[in-house]
């Protein structure tokens, strides 16, 4: 080992600049956006910093380091390819989308940094779901890490969002949400941000409420055609409600099979406790990303085993399943479990509940009931990131041939699936039918339903 690299046989750290000339880049898709980071950086480099680091030279368009350079860039992916930053800031990544080639720029900068063991950091505002921005893709990656479905967990994700119950029309509620979001920066916490000025800006009639939620409350709201918003769904979260064995529940199921093109739809099984309307994800099966997803098919045996397990674990008294491409299995479930179900889709088919065909009126009403239950907080859910993702992926769709509003993916070949949302709607409809029946026997716990 070269002299100076060890002491008494032990490794000793060396400044990076003695090993490799450091390059730090501040990137955005426009020059104005780079100033969010660049201007404060120049201000902080004035004064004692210059005295502590001889050779440091802050200039308007770049900073000379004693060895190395800091620079803002707003280039395309092709012009930055080959640069090797040891650290890069990707600023305003909620605006980095395919139309401005921001996704490609982010990919290139991450690859460049990885080649020298460097690090990248994103500094976005709240993104709008459905735009496919870099910030949205990073959030989706974090969701898969939490679900245990990502191969790598080397992402640090810090998102400080105002509570979903924040009421922008109530001053005290709004100030409380802003105080939480801004943290130590809020004037009420000893910081420099004047919250009263922000309240006045939010209440300005020219300020779009959705923009205000994203920019000031850091709330990830919704696409313009979203079925449910993130604050609406988050407001129903209740992780304190834990299911016990033999709890009385109902189930909803939406299945899929292999597609000839695009990403195969997911298969999902969702439950709902009858007593309190608590919705929970039993299990779901999604096509993996990348090579692992090549030739992937829904593991039918696993799905059948999961259904069998939940019937053994809980007191299942209702089960609605969309039979599309699962007709034979739904028929088997009807033969196996039909007699024990206290509420049935129909006399001849206790489980079969079509979400297609000439049933648009029933489908529209089921969707309306679930939507109202969320908005009015008549249900709770377990916070499953997969279920949340599918709920927020759902888009409103209307056609002249339909009797009302239905839901669909953003486009038919989209990789953003909604199958767990459909399963949740079926489970909720099944619970409503249970309550409407009104003549059920007491649960094994001794609880009785009063109608």
**pLDDT tens-place string over residues 71-112:** 998 866 667 777 889 999 999 999 998 888 899 999 999 999
**115, 146, 177 — which closes off a domain?**
146
* Pair (280, 349) in one structural domain: yes
Q: Where are the alpha helices (DSSP H) in 271-418?
A: 300-313, 327-337, 360-375, 385-393
Name which of 395, 428, 432, 162 is nearest 278 in CA terms: 428
Count of structural domains, the chain? 3
Q: For residue 262, is it within any domain?
A: yes
**Helix crossing, 327-337 with 300-313: angle to 10°?**
20
Q: For residue 224, is it within any domain?
A: no
Which long-range contacts link 309-312 to residues 24+ away (Cβ below 8 Å)?
310/249, 310/251, 310/269, 310/271, 310/282, 311/337
Domain holding 281, by residue range, is 234-437
C-alpha triplet 175, 92, 71: angle, nearest 5°: 130
Q: For residue 2, is it within any domain?
A: no
* Pair (140, 263) in one structural domain: no
> Would you tell me how many other CB atoms lie within 10 Å of the CB of residue 283?
18
* Pair (260, 333) in one structural domain: yes
Tell me the C-alpha distance between 341 and 338, whole Å.
5
Name which of 236, 222, 235 is nearest 164 in CA terms: 235
CA 325 to chain centre: 28
Question: What are the pLDDT digits (tens) for 274-313?
Answer: 999 999 999 999 988 777 777 788 999 999 999 999 999 9
* Pair (140, 208) in one structural domain: no
Location of structure tokens 């007593």: 275
pLDDT at 17 over 70: no
* Pair (197, 259) in one structural domain: no
Structure confidence at residue 195 as a pLDDT band (50, 70, 90) = very high
**92, 111, 146 — which closes off a domain?**
146
Q: For residue 229, is it within any domain?
A: no
Please state, rounded to an integer, the average pLDDT across all residues of the chain: 87
pTM across the whole model? 0.68
Structure confidence at residue 448 as a pLDDT band (50, 70, 90) = very low
* Pair (212, 241) in one structural domain: no
* Pair (269, 183) in one structural domain: no
Rg of the chain (C-alpha set): 27
* Pair (138, 166) in one structural domain: no
Tell me the C-alpha distance between 385 and 143, whole Å.
6
* Pair (192, 270) in one structural domain: no
pLDDT at 447 over 60: no
Q: For residue 195, is it within any domain?
A: yes
Which of 37-41, 44-48, 424-428 is predicted most confidently? 424-428
* Pair (136, 175) in one structural domain: no
Structure confidence at residue 359 as a pLDDT band (50, 70, 90) = confident
CA 131, 381, 179, 184 dihedral sign is negative
Contact 219, 231 (CB under 8 A): yes
Return the CATH number at 285: 3.30.420.240
Name which of 441, 360, 434, 439 is nearest 397 in CA terms: 360
Tell me the C-alpha distance between 86 and 71, whole Å.
12
What share of the chain in percent tops pLDDT 90? Answer: 53
Q: For residue 205, is it within any domain?
A: yes
Contact 288, 266 (CB under 8 A): no
Return the CATH number at 89: 3.40.50.300
Contact 340, 319 (CB under 8 A): no
**111, 146, 181 — which closes off a domain?**
146
Contact 322, 363 (CB under 8 A): no
Q: Which helix (H) or strand (E) holds 267?
A: strand 267-273
Predicted local distance difference test score (pLDDT) of residue 214 = 85
Q: For residue 185, is it within any domain?
A: yes
Q: For residue 291, is it within any domain?
A: yes
* Pair (261, 338) in one structural domain: yes
pLDDT at 153 over 70: yes
Please tell me the least confidently modeled range out of 2-11, 65-74, 99-108: 2-11
* Pair (196, 266) in one structural domain: no
């Amino acid at each position: 080992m070269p002299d100076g690299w060890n002491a008494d046989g032990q490794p000793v750290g060396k400044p990076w600049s003695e090993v490799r000339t450091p390059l730090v880049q501040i990137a955005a898709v426009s020059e104005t956006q780079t100033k969010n980071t660049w201007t404060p950086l120049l201000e902080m480099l004035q004064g004692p910093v210059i005295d502590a680091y001889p050779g440091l030279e802050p200039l308007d368009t770049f900073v000379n380091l004693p060895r190395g350079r800091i620079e803002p860039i707003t280039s395309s992916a092709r012009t930055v390819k080959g640069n090797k930053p040891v650290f890069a800031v990707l600023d305003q990544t909620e605006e980095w989308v395919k139309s401005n080639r921001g996704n490609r720029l982010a990919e290139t900068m991450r690859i460049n940094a990885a080649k020298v063991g460097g690090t990248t950091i994103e500094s976005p505002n709240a993104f709008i779901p459905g735009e496919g921005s870099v910030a949205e893709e990073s959030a989706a990656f974090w969701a898969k890490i939490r679900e245990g479905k990502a191969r790598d967990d080397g992402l640090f994700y810090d998102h400080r969002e105002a509570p979903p119950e924040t009421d922008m029309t109530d001053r005290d509620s709004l100030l409380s949400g802003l105080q939480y979001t801004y943290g130590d920066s809020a004037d009420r916490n000893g910081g420099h941000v004047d919250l009263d000025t922000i309240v006045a800006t939010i209440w300005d009639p020219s300020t779009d409420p959705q923009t205000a939620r994203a920019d000031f409350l850091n709330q990830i709201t919704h696409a313009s055609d979203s079925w449910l918003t993130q604050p609406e769904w988050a407001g129903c979260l209740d992780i304190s409600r834990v299911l016990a064995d033999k709890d009385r529940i109902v189930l909803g199921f939406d299945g899929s099979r292999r597609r000839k093109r695009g990403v195969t739809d997911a298969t999902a099984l969702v439950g709902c406790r009858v007593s309190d309307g608590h919705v929970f994800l039993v299990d779901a099966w999604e096509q993996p990303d990348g090579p692992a997803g090549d030739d992937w098919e829904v593991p039918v045996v696993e799905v059948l085993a999961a259904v069998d397990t939940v019937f053994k674990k809980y007191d299942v008294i209702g089960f609605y399943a969309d039979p599309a491409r699962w007709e034979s299995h739904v028929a088997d479930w009807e033969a196996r479990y039909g007699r024990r179900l206290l509420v049935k889709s129909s006399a001849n088919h206790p489980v079969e509940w079509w979400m297609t065909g000439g049933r648009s009126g029933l489908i529209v009403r089921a969707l309306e009931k679930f939507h109202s239950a969320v908005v009015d907080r008549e249900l709770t859910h377990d916070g499953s990131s997969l279920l949340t993702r599918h709920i927020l992926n759902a888009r409103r769709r209307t056609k002249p041939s339909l009797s009302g509003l239905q839901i669909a993916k953003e486009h038919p070949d989209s990789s953003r699936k909604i199958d767990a949302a459909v399963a949740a709607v079926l489970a909720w409809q099944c619970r409503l039918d249970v309550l409407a029946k009104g003549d059920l026997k007491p649960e094994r716990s001794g609880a009785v339903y009063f109608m």
